Chain A
Amino acid sequence: MGETVGPLVDELLRRIRDVGAQGTSRALVRRFLAHAEGLVAIAFDAHIETFTLTTTPERCVYANSELTGGTRIGKLLTFRESNRDIPPSPLEAFAAHSLSWFRQLGPRPEAWTALGKDLFVLWPAGSTARTVEVRAVAAPLAPDDTYTGSDGDTTTLDTRWTPQILDLAELFLLLRVRRLDALKAPMERLKALQVVG
């Protein structure tokens, strides 16, 4: 359960010494907050979602975007089929197993690997469609340039991640208000929080 956005906006405006939101609108602070929340979700593995992949026959390469909401994925964690975990494997291991791995068919997927941030291999391909459960770190929200939200919204990440979200949003806001000498403090706090995890 997250926190109400309004008090977080108040806190950020206090940190950048603009409690009256004279130089920075509350809507802009909310937008930066949303971007900070997305980055914290990925950077700290703070938001894990389960996606469903329906495979297609004779294919082993898939894009994250083929999963509903998959463009929000930052890191793939586990693949599971019929209560069986499918282990991760480096791409090189497929070729070591067989140079024909790319089009090889098998009764069930035996391994998976991520390629960059937007593609993965589920090997070997099957001759029929299958359903695979994919757990992944994902950003909770996809804010675009029109996103303004409202003070009554709540953040998606658990409250334990609020310090990280605030520090990162503060960093972006300090840049905006050109308080470049103040950037170091939130960065140091974030580094310390990353170590604590």
Chain B
Amino acid sequence: MNAATVAALVEDLNHGLQDTTRTQQEFDETVEHLARAGLWVEVSLVPLTAGTHLYTLPDNALVLLHAFYDDRQLDRERVEDMDIMPGWRDHRGAPLAYVQADEADRTFRLYPIPTVASKAYVPLYGEPLGRDYPSYTAAVLTTYRRTSFQPWLGMYAALKVSALEFTRDGKQRDEPFAKACADVASFVAMLLA
């Protein structure tokens, strides 16, 4: 189920009254909502550079759940707690922990600063998380945005998109209908929970 198939369902629900120029934006907002609810999780490799402490989450990632370095799960630490340790920002070695300012932060800091660069990923078996896992590499477990998702979520997404669409200013604005779509979407979510 992707933006096009959800758009077709939205049209079915709304007799084509929606402003189709906004459907993609409303689909993206719906996907963001579902992703923030933790529906979709992925693991991504993050190649490290020796002497570099700060890394950025993959483009589609939203919330960093866990981080790993080689085979080790890293502890999540708060800056306030790390500051108890004088000079921690300069410590070097194999990473043991990561620090993030807050959930909205798209970067994370490794502690200590890695001193060895990641080996290159060589796809001998096509298994980056298996036999091809490159040494000295970090991996992050994150919630993320998908461009297509499970087909059974299609109607729920169409309801959410419709609720957004008919709340917006424009000639199609229909608040009672938008509210009804939002109520039915919440009801479906309640059934699925």
Please state if A74 and B150 are interface contacts (CB–CB under 8 Å).
Answer: yes
Please state if A183 and B152 are interface contacts (CB–CB under 8 Å).
Answer: no
* A57 touching B130 in the complex, CB below 8 Å, given contacts A103-B70, A178-B177: yes
Closest B residue to A73 using CB positions: B150
Q: How far is the CA of A18 from the CA of B90 in the complex (A)?
A: 73
8 Å CB contact of B184 from A72, A117, A139, A183:
A183
Please state if A125 and B130 are interface contacts (CB–CB under 8 Å).
Answer: yes
A104 neighbours in B (Cβ, 8 Å)? 71
B14 neighbours in A (Cβ, 8 Å)? 176
How many chain A residues touch B (CB < 8 A): the figure is: 52
B177 neighbours in A (Cβ, 8 Å)? 175, 178, 180
A71 neighbours in B (Cβ, 8 Å)? 150-151
A54 nearest CB across to chain B (Å)? 12
Q: How far is the CA of A172 from the CA of B143 in the complex (A)?
A: 30
Please state if A41 and B152 are interface contacts (CB–CB under 8 Å).
Answer: yes
* A194 touching B191 in the complex, CB below 8 Å, given contacts A41-B152, A118-B150, A176-B13: yes
| 8 Å CB interface, B15-74 against A | 15, 38-43, 66, 68, 70-73
B149 neighbours in A (Cβ, 8 Å)? 118
B180 neighbours in A (Cβ, 8 Å)? 175, 180, 183
Does B79 have its Cβ within 8 Å of any Cβ on chain A? Answer: no
One digit per residue, 1 when the CB lies within 8 angstroms of any chain B CB and 0 when it does not, for chain A 168-193 equals: 10011001101010010001001000
| 8 Å CB interface, A138-171 against B | 139, 142-145, 168, 171
Does A31 have its Cβ within 8 Å of any Cβ on chain B? Answer: yes
Q: How far is the CA of A58 from the CA of B127 in the complex (A)?
A: 9
Please state if B183 and A183 are interface contacts (CB–CB under 8 Å).
Answer: yes
Please state if B72 and A119 are interface contacts (CB–CB under 8 Å).
Answer: no
Please state if A143 and B73 are interface contacts (CB–CB under 8 Å).
Answer: no
Does A102 have its Cβ within 8 Å of any Cβ on chain B? Answer: yes
One digit per residue, 1 when the CB lies within 8 angstroms of any chain B CB and 0 when it does not, for chain A 57-88 equals: 11101010000000111100000000000000
B147 neighbours in A (Cβ, 8 Å)? none
8 Å CB contact of A59 from B130, B150, B151:
B130
Please state if A39 and B130 are interface contacts (CB–CB under 8 Å).
Answer: no
B159 nearest CB across to chain A (Å)? 8
Please state if B41 and A119 are interface contacts (CB–CB under 8 Å).
Answer: yes
Please state if A39 and B40 are interface contacts (CB–CB under 8 Å).
Answer: no
| 8 Å CB interface, A99-135 against B | 99-104, 115-119, 125
Please state if A116 and B39 are interface contacts (CB–CB under 8 Å).
Answer: yes
Please state if A72 and B151 are interface contacts (CB–CB under 8 Å).
Answer: yes
One digit per residue, 1 when the CB lies within 8 angstroms of any chain A CB and 0 when it does not, for chain B 135-171 equals: 0000101010000011110111001000000000000
Which 7 pairs between the two chains have the least Cβ-Cβ distance? A145-B8, A59-B130, A103-B71, A116-B41, A142-B151, A139-B152, A43-B191
5 residue pairs of the A-B complex, CB under 8 angstroms, read A38-B152, A59-B130, A115-B141, A171-B187, A183-B183
Having A39-B192, A44-B191, A102-B72, one finds 12 other A-B pairs with CB under 8 Å, namely: A35-B155, A56-B127, A57-B131, A59-B127, A73-B150, A99-B73, A116-B41, A118-B39, A125-B130, A178-B177, A180-B176, A190-B191
